[in-house]
Amino acid sequence: MKKISRSFSSILFLIGALLGLTLTALSVWGDLEAAAYGFQRVGGEQLSALNCPILMTANETSAFSVKLTNSTQGKLYPSIKTVISSYLALPASSLTSVELAPGETKRVEWKVSPENIEFKRFILVYAGVYASYPIPNRENTCGIFIVNLPFLNGAIITWTLVTLSLLGISLGLYGLTQTQGPALSGGDVTRFKLLFYLVIIGLISSFMAWWILGIIVVVVSLLLGVVVTFSFAVKKL
Torsion of CA 142, 109, 161, 205, to 10 degrees: 40
pLDDT in tens, the chain (237 residues): 445 477 888 889 989 999 999 999 999 999 999 999 989 888 889 998 999 999 999 999 999 999 999 988 889 999 999 999 988 777 889 999 999 999 999 999 999 999 999 998 999 999 999 988 788 899 999 999 999 888 889 999 999 999 999 999 999 988 888 765 555 556 677 888 899 999 999 999 999 989 999 999 999 998 887 776 666 555 555
Alpha helices in the chain (DSSP H): 2-35, 154-178, 186-208, 211-236
Beta strands in 85-137 (DSSP E): 92-97, 105-112, 117-118, 122-129
pTM: 0.89
Instruction: Give the whole-angstrom CA distance, residue 198 versus residue 21.
Output: 9
Name the residue type at position 82.
T
Torsion of CA 210, 124, 112, 158, to 10 degrees: -40
Q: Where are the domains of the chain?
A: 2-29+154-236, 33-147
Q: Which CATH superfamily is domain 33-147 in?
A: Immunoglobulins (2.60.40.10)
Residues in the chain: 237
